[in-house]
């Protein structure tokens, strides 16, 4: 406890100003296995501030992040997320290993149930799942591969993004001679293109509003 | 626009009421079986949503959309679940479900001393009022003939 107090004498806070709009992307193989997962955590605007103890802002854990709850000052506003302290990354509570795979495979039966319980003939499975604070879009290809994007409800253009990701998957994963179907995707080119597609989608999505 | 059907579950997953208006496909099983399947799906969706959500949920309202229909789930603080299937373009379903809860369920079931809260609703008045509220809603009225 005493060492912890000492560390608080000088603190650099990196604070995230804008909410990121695309949270994560999952790719499920046709048998329901998770073959790719990407957490998109690019802060759009960062503030770096030096504080001395006692802190002039009040922080609290909210939704797996450390968030400013009181004390608006110098461009740092209530609701901003603390990213790092003294150069050390603050990540909040992280998903444990294997939990993502479980989440992805949880979705697979839900998709099938949604068809079965449909009041209308020949319905597809879940395409958009929307709660009050996030939206999940799912795109299933003809071959049964599912692309899922979890984003902010305000993010637009997710359909285009999903098709773009499908293209990238075909170009850089399927055409890669070292990639075997149903296996996790580990291709650098795929990663790079995916990242730029996500960034582009966020930029376009924001300017559309 | 169309409203297909409504399920009302209590906090234990018991089907309290079922109503349908336009249903073009039956699931091919008994009502109890279907209710169990529906409750099971809702239960899993809810746990999926709480796990996958980047931030905590604030209200008990969520929807999912397929290419043919939309399922709207409204959960009251007492964990009663109102599930309404509509077409994908229906608007204002959240308000409609809230209205069904406050103006139909509370008025004609909770305030009715003859209705037991943990038993399937047998009140005809409730069914009639529910039908009336749904048929008056813009989402139902504007459906093509």
Q: What is the ipTM of this complex?
A: 0.86
Q: What is the pLDDT of residues A180-205, one digit of tens each?
A: 988 999 999 999 999 999 888 888 76
Instruction: Point out the least confidently predicted range of A71-75, A154-158, B131-135.
Output: A71-75
**pTM (whole model) above 0.95:** no
Nearest by CB: A119 against B4, B41, B56: B4
Q: Which domain holds residue A153?
A: 2-208
Task: Average the pLDDT over A54-83 and give the result.
Answer: 75
Interface of A with B (CB under 8 A): 23-24, 62-64, 99, 103, 106-107, 109-110, 113-134, 136, 150
The CATH number linked to A155 is: 3.30.450.70
Q: Tell whether the model's pLDDT for residue A206 goes beyond 60.
A: no
Interface of B with A (CB under 8 A): 4-5, 20, 22-25, 27, 34, 37-38, 40-41, 44-45, 47-49, 51-59, 61-69, 71, 85, 87
Cβ contact (<8 Å) for B24 and A125? Answer: no
Write down the pLDDT at residue B144: 53
- Number of domains, chain A: 1
Cβ contact (<8 Å) for B56 and A63? Answer: yes
- Residue with the bigger pLDDT between B144 and A134: it is A134
pLDDT in 10s for each residue of chain B, 145 residues: 789 999 999 999 999 999 999 888 888 889 999 999 999 999 999 888 877 776 666 678 899 999 999 999 999 988 899 999 999 998 899 999 999 999 999 999 999 999 888 899 999 999 999 999 999 988 887 655 4
The pair of structure tokens assigned to A50 is: 């030096």
Percent of chain A at pLDDT > 90 equals 27
Kindly report the number of other CB atoms within 10 A of residue A69's CB atom.
13
Nearest by CB: A114 against B54, B57, B64: B64
**Band of the pLDDT at A61, cuts 50, 70, 90?**
confident
Backbone angles phi, psi at A82, to 5 degrees: -80, 125
Domains and CATH numbers, chain B: 3-141 (3.30.450.70)
Write down the pLDDT at residue A39: 81
Cβ contact (<8 Å) for B44 and A121? Answer: no
């Amino acid at each position: 406890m005493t060492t912890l107090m000492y560390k608080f004498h000088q603190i650099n806070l990196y604070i995230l100003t804008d909410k990121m709009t695309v949270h994560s992307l999952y790719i499920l193989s046709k048998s329901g296995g998770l073959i790719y997962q990407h957490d998109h955590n690019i802060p759009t605007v960062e503030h770096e501030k030096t504080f001395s103890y006692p802190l002039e802002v009040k922080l609290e854990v909210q939704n797996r992040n450390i968030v400013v709850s009181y004390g608006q000052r110098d461009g740092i506003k209530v609701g901003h997320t603390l990213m790092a302290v003294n150069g050390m990354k603050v990540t909040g509570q992280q998903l444990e290993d294997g939990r993502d795979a479980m989440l992805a495979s949880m979705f697979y039966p839900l998709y099938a149930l949604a068809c079965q319980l449909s009041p209308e003939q020949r319905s597809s499975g879940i395409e958009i799942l929307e709660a009050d604070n996030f939206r999940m879009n799912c795109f299933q290809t003809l071959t049964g591969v599912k692309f899922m994007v979890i984003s902010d409800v305000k993010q637009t253009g997710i359909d285009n993004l999903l098709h773009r990701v499908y293209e990238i998957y075909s170009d850089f994963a399927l055409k890669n001679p070292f990639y075997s179907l149903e296996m996790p995707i580990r291709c650098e080119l795929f990663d790079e293109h995916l990242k730029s597609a996500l960034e582009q989608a966020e930029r376009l999505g924001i300017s559309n509003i | 626009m169309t409203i297909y059907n409504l399920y009302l579950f209590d906090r234990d997953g018991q089907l309290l009421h079922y109503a349908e208006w336009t249903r073009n496909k039956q699931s091919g099983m008994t009502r109890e079986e279907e209710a169990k399947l529906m409750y099971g799906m809702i239960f899993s969706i809810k746990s999926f949503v709480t796990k996958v959500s980047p931030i905590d949920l604030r209200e008990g309202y969520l929807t999912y959309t397929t290419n043919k229909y939309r399922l709207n789930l409204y959960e009251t603080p007492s964990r009663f679940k109102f599930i309404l299937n509509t077409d994908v373009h229906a608007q204002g379903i959240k308000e409609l479900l809230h209205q069904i809860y406050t103006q139909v369920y509370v008025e004609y079931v909770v305030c009715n001393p003859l209705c037991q809260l943990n038993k399937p609703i047998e009140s005809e008045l409730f069914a009639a009022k529910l039908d009336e509220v749904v048929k008056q809603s813009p989402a139902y009225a504007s459906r093509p003939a």
